[in-house]
Structure 1
Amino acid sequence: MEQTCPRCRTSTFQNPHLKLMVNVCGHRLCTNCIEAVFTHPTSNCLDCGKLLRRSEFRAQLFEDASVEREVDIRKRILRDYNKRQEDFKTLREYNDYLEEIEEIIFNLASGTDIEQTQERVEKYRAANQMQIVKSRSMQARHIQSMEQELAAVLEVDEMQQQMQRAEAERLAELRKKARMDVIDLLATTSRPGEAVRQHLQKLDDLSRPTEIAAPPAPKTLGTGHETFIPTIPMDEGHAYVYVPESIDTDGPPLLSLDEITQRGYSQHWRSLTPTEAAGGFTMDHACSRVLLDAFSGLFCPA
């Protein structure tokens, strides 16, 4: 999608290398306009007049500037509102806390009661300063431990790939040596058939998969320290036995010719013409055919 700088009106169509940047207010500028306008560390936004810092400009990730602004506001608010569910006594209190966060983000993103909302955030920050610092420290340790676990997993994968490459190189070298041996043997032996059979046997042995020792698994689990992982017994229950389901798709049975006459269906028939009666045709057969057509949609047995 084509994007345009609101100041210089340069578009990505005119300059494919155009790079747009956004600040905390959500309004964007291209890098050339930032160099021209922000000659000092701070300057006012050209759209809303808010005092901005040049160092706070970042690359725009979303095409919609409002989405970019909401993401930035959410990141700033969640740095302070960083309590977890374990910090609350009940689930209802935690849900109310999450609802309060969403209300604050909505007000700041939509421009509703900005002063009251900012004052509300400042009061929360002052009242929960120790808890905010503690939660930030826990989050940093958690991120660090996750990075360590990811690095350990990547190291194990790399070791396994190296072992597989080494095994493949070893097999290739053995096959090459086997070919040279059979050539030398064919040149000196009087029994070439036996030499070929031995060569094929060696190739068959080399083609069999060999077990590669698995690299050591990482011993960390969430905290970066050695952790004992208990084995939880599972009740498998009884084995599943398949029982075919029986579904009755047959409709009501068809009426016989006598039942058609007894139930009075013949009262609604027209009289036969002499030509129709001369051929031995009766209205009972016509009614039976009509009922058969009607009942065929009900999966009636023939």
Structure 2
Amino acid sequence: MTDRNKLIEKFRVSPGKKFDLADHDPDWSGDKDVAVEKRKEYAKESLTLDVSELAEAQEMLYADNSWSLLVIFQAMDAAGKDSTIKHVMSGINPQGCQVYSFKHPSAEELDHDFLWRCNRALPERGRIGIFNRSYYEEVLIVRVHPELIGAQRIPGVQPGEALKKEFWEHRYEDINSFERHLTRNGTTIVKFFLNISKKEQRKRFLKRIDEPEKHWKFAASDLHERNYWDDYMRAYEDCLSATSTEHAPWYVIPADHKWVTRAAVAAILNQTIRGLGLKWPQISPAQAAEIAKAREELKGE
């Protein structure tokens, strides 16, 4: 195993083991014995290479037309989901990639089960689908604010009952079964938790407030949710412990340094697609004969 692969495994949440955020430093940026400028340069070169290789891998994914790739991003506000998607996917053909951002559910979505709205947005074979937030909100924000369960009108479930352990176990079970079903039918899944520290989030919020061109990014609700930081961290620990599986792993990516986040995500996505064993389609003898005939006709013009 190369150092690069060891690094990727460092971020992966082991299935069946209790996940502890204390074991994952949001400020991690590599070997401290190496000058930070050298680490930044290595990350930049790695990102450039992976972005280029992702473009080729996406083309093969499309040509092979047997797998689709679902990429899920979850994080606290200001962790860098949007910018990571922008930079890592910068070389991707837009025709083969779709991004969905899931906000507060609509009335129509609340009339269905909690997986429905995401199920509708799944990528077709040969395409990459990116979820900026996802059905995992149902075991994160709803875990922190159980009163939201009332809007879902689940028979026999009252808002207070959402605090029961069995409720969340059932949701984890539903999510794991859903992802197993997708994988068995040709959708490979990779999930990223961008792990930002509370200190760094404060810094980024202040930047949004102090710089007029960033005011549009700030919402008072973001600051309100910051008051529930510890509750969210416990919800993430339980969620990642219960739903990181061999077929749909979670990766906890240090997010205090954006150059680390982007390089790590790009490397993992490349490894994931390359691991699918994709091949360029083989043409039939009849197609080969048609190609040869077309060549001769074009040369004869």
Class of the TM-score when normalised by the shorter of the 2 chains? under 0.3
TM-score (norm 2): 0.19
TM-score (norm 1): 0.18
Q: Which has the higher strand share?
A: 2
Larger relative contact order, structure 1 or 2 (CA cutoff 8 Å, min sep 6): 2
